[in-house]
Amino acid sequence: MERHYYWVSIADVPQWYITTPVPASGGKFEEPWMFGEGHSLSDPGPIKARVRNPGQKRAFVFAGIERTPIVSEAVANVFKTLAPDDIQAFPVTVEGESERYFIINAAKTIDCLDEAKCREVQHYAEDDPFPESAGQYRWINGLRIDPAKTEGVSVLRPRKFKTAFIVSEEIKDALEQVGNLGVSFEPVTGPHE
């Protein structure tokens, strides 16, 4: 039986906006996008983030322009229980909040895109202002991955399109049980609707 996967993205629901996480000691991370790169990280030490727009507090949001996954303890426990080898959970203090929050780092990048089944694919050109991105995907509409190439992982970022935070159906179902999410789930396996 084919496994199903979903692209987790920002939902169109009222929600708070949390800024890009920074070291608790002050300053900024040298690579603030590191939590979206899809590889294991060294322990970054104590981390903090602030609420820029109070909005409605949610159990799972993407923070800052780097789209760092920040989750409640209940959501973190879903990831720790169902995908312990696929993620890293780093505690983050959200300014003004007494509850515990975590950054979820998808620690695996897998070459699993099924370009032929995607609706539309745009690549970065050789003359793009970011030459290091040449050959990478600029954007994909109707993203599809090949579940046979996921190496059995439950949380991943696709190689050449690390923007996408992908979870298995098992993770999706467990997250929906927690509820109060600021994210939506777009299928990335199976036929387009």
Residues 6+ apart with CB under 8 A from 110: 149, 150, 151, 153, 156, 157, 158, 159
Quote the pLDDT of residue 30. 92
Quote the pLDDT of residue 1. 61
Residue 164 sits at the vertex; the CA angle it makes with 39 and 64, to the nearest 5 degrees, is: 85
Residues 6+ apart with CB under 8 A from 181: 11, 58, 59, 60, 75, 175
Mean pLDDT by 10 residues, the chain (193 residues): 90 95 95 93 96 94 89 98 98 95 97 94 79 79 95 94 95 98 96 83
Gap between the Cα atoms of 30 and 178, Å rounded = 33
Quote the pLDDT of residue 192. 84
Quote the pLDDT of residue 136. 78
Gap between the Cα atoms of 63 and 53, Å rounded = 11
Quote the pLDDT of residue 43. 95
